[in-house]
Amino acid sequence: MIGVNIYLALIAIATFLSMYRVFRGPTTVDRLVAVDIMTTITAGLMVLFALYYKRMIFLDVALVYAVLAFGGVIAFARYLEGGL
């Protein structure tokens, strides 16, 4: 139980640092990377919930969320590059 609290604290710190980069990022690419980091953090949080609540459906949801987030980030990066 103590390990879960440590993980949640680390996830909260990483989320706040990513939010800072989203709002204060000097370029759009920095903001995009911060959003990608936040989607990765969210997928990790879903995996942590799956382990804590012993519900394996959260693992499937985390996997689908991560794949969709990856596709979204790739599409937006291609848009910024001018490839779409």
- The distance in angstroms from the start CA to the end CA of the chain is 47
Mean of pLDDT values over 61-79? 93
Confidence class for position 8, pLDDT limits 50, 70, 90: confident
At 14, which amino acid appears? A
Quote the pLDDT of residue 83. Answer: 73
Using an 8 Å Cβ cutoff, are 24 and 72 in contact? Answer: no
Position 82 pLDDT exceeds 90: no
Burial class (CB in 10 A: 0-12, 13-18, 19+), 43: buried
pLDDT tens track for 10-69: 888 999 999 999 999 899 889 999 999 999 999 999 998 898 899 999 999 999 999 999
pTM: 0.83
| Spatial separation of the C-alpha atoms in residues 64 and 59, rounded to whole Å | 9
User: Can you list the domains of the chain with their CATH numbers?
Assistant: 1-81 (1.10.287)
Using an 8 Å Cβ cutoff, are 39 and 69 in contact? Answer: yes
Confidence class for position 7, pLDDT limits 50, 70, 90: confident
> Closest Cα partner for 16 from 45, 37, 46?
37
